[in-house]
Structure 1
């Protein structure tokens, strides 16, 4: 059974990593990013709910007086 020749593995793996790096750089360089990103001002509208205008109280069974 012949031996596996691993003498070219280093250069193959190194060239593959470099190629992937350069291709990634080319892909990223195509995008245009804003130089000074600013947050959008979103107008928050308060929803009108019927229970905001009146006072309500929730009674828990443990807070009621003993009978």
Structure 2
């Protein structure tokens, strides 16, 4: 049974890693970073709840007769 020739594997793997590294660097270099990063506000503006926007009638419970 013939043995598998693995002499070229190291060159193939190294060239593949190098090519992937170069492609990744080119992809990252196209990204535009913001020049002046601005901090996000710590407190988000309060968003009204749906039930706060509508007017609802407040009904008091029926008063029990006094004893």
- State if a TM-score over 0.5 links the two structures: yes
**Where has structure 1 moved over 6 Å in runs of 4 or more?**
none
Any unmatched runs of 5+ in structure 1? Answer: 50-67
RMSD, matched Cα:
2.3
SS of residue in 2 equivalent to 1:39:
coil
Moved more, 34-43 or 16-25: 34-43
Any unmatched runs of 5+ in structure 2? Answer: 53-67
Q: Give the TM-score normalised by the residue count of structure 1.
A: 0.59
Q: How many residues align?
A: 49
Query: Closer, same or farther in 2 for the Cα pair 1:6/1:47, shift >3 Å?
Result: same
